[in-house]
Homo-oligomer: A and B are copies of this chain.
Amino acid sequence: MKTYTDLNTPARLLLGAGPSTVHPRVLKAMSHPLVGHLDPQFLVVMNEVQELLRYVFETENQLTIPVSGTGSASMEASICNFIEPGDEIIIGVNGYFSERLCDMAERYGGVVRRLDKPWGDVFSREEIEAELKKKPAKILALVHAETSTGAMQPIDGMGELAHQYGALFLIDCVTSLGGVPVKMDERGVDIAYSGTQKCLSCPPGLGPLSIGERAREVLHHRKSKVKNWYLDLTLVEHYWGDTRTYHHTAPISMNFGLREALRLVQEEGLENRFRRHQENAEILWAGLEEIGITPLVPLAHRLPSLTTVRVPEGVNEAEIRKQLLQEYNIEIAGGLGALAGKVWRIGLMGYSSRKENICTLLGALRNLLS
């Protein structure tokens, strides 16, 4: 019979589109001995995770939870609980993950009204309002931080706008939460989903999700049962609510890890953390420019947590990534979908966003491209 060695994966510097490098304190928390999922002491941990998630989302929303799956599960929870057959949803489509939102909405019988733009672009208030004006929609969905393009969609005032036309405002903040201000309540966001493995620097496996009261009302007045049992918030809200009624067994160790990752965010302070992400991104951009590598997205809406750059002409995109990984143990990401083969995606997220990491990457790129 085949035998298996101890885990011996190499020590990688994770500067791709996520996962980011995990802080040693979070790794330690992941190895904390288990307690049961209904143990009073685990209920304390659940409460703390929820409080800390509210802190990073900047929300008072009671229904703020880590979905027991990755960011994509949290994305699906945002759709399947609010879209019933025939419901109209306006989706700003300017990258891979907004395409995914369309796919999911259609699976639940939603009527998708696409607003298309080239990948890397963002939507103006006027463009959104023009579509909202046409006829009522149940949801307006925008990707705050497009992980496939590195574009940051301005969302100030968008919640108010959506509400003016009777729509809920939903955002993808997978690559912004904990690295870039999300300010859920201030911006009138009704539904926001994220992942743990980006700017929170926790391993992948949970999907932070926050649901505002306006959206919760809609949930409670559905005409039909949610089609998805595992992500059915009318059930899940009781496990993560006052009664703590068993629904499924929460991923206990993942919640231990997330608690520690969020505690690190709180210790640093959100404002300091946002500033660190912005300052380090600027150092990276300047350094990349020096070696002739230009970002895809204009400065005005460039995401600090994830930078997409054009692969210089004549350079073999995949080969350089392979060399970075094999020779330098550095991971960066290639392009997805329409951008495959054309771009690299460089993440400076959470614990990965450190000056020393930028030196390491720029040094390696200099060597490989010279």
A165 beta carbon closer than 8 Å to chain B: no
Whether A36 pairs with B14 at a CB distance below 8 angstroms is yes
User: CA A248 – CA B250 in complex, angstroms?
Assistant: 19
Residues of B within 8 A of A359 (CB): none
Segment touching B, from A87-95, A135-143, A221-229, A307-315? A221-229
- Assess whether B27 is in contact with A33, with CB atoms less than 8 Å apart: yes
Give CA–CA (A11, B34) in the complex, Å. Answer: 8
Contact flags (1/0) for A233-271 with B, using CB distance below 8 Å?
000000000000011111111101101100100100000
Binds B, one of A102-110, A112-120, A208-216, A283-291: A102-110
Query: At the interface, yes or no: A172 with Cβ under 8 Å from chain B?
Result: no
CB of A275 within 8 A of chain B?
A: no
The listed residue (B9, B251, B253) touching A35 by CB distance below 8 A is: B9
* B204 in contact with A250 (CB, 8 Å): yes
Q: Are A68 and B205 in contact (CB under 8 A)?
A: yes
- Contact status of A4 and B266, CB under 8 A, knowing A10-B41, A18-B249, A34-B14: yes
Residue of B with least CB distance to A105: B229
> A30: CB under 8 A from chain B?
yes
CB distance from A2 to the nearest CB of B (A): 7
Known: A9-B45, A203-B252. A31 touches B30 (CB 8 A): yes
Residues on B with C-beta less than 8 A from A227 are 107-108, 227-228
The answer for the CA separation of A51 and B1 in the assembled complex, in Å, is 11
- A355 interface residue per 8 A CB criterion: no
A72 on the interface (CB 8 Å rule)?
yes
A325 sits at the interface (CB 8 A): yes
| Known interface pairs A22-B33, A35-B10; A71-B28 also in contact (CB < 8 Å) | no
Question: Distance in Å from the Cβ of A38 to the closest Cβ of chain B?
Answer: 8
Question: Does A123 touch B at the CB level, under 8 Å?
Answer: no
CB distance from A16 to the nearest CB of B (A): 6
CA distance A76 to B228 in the complex (A): 8
Q: Is the CB of A7 within 8 A of B34?
A: no
Pick 11 A–B contacts, CB within 8 A, sort by A. Answer: A3-B266, A4-B52, A9-B33, A16-B36, A22-B34, A28-B31, A31-B31, A39-B325, A72-B249, A107-B227, A204-B249
**6 tightest A-B CB contacts, nearest first:** A205-B251, A31-B31, A72-B248, A203-B253, A27-B31, A204-B249
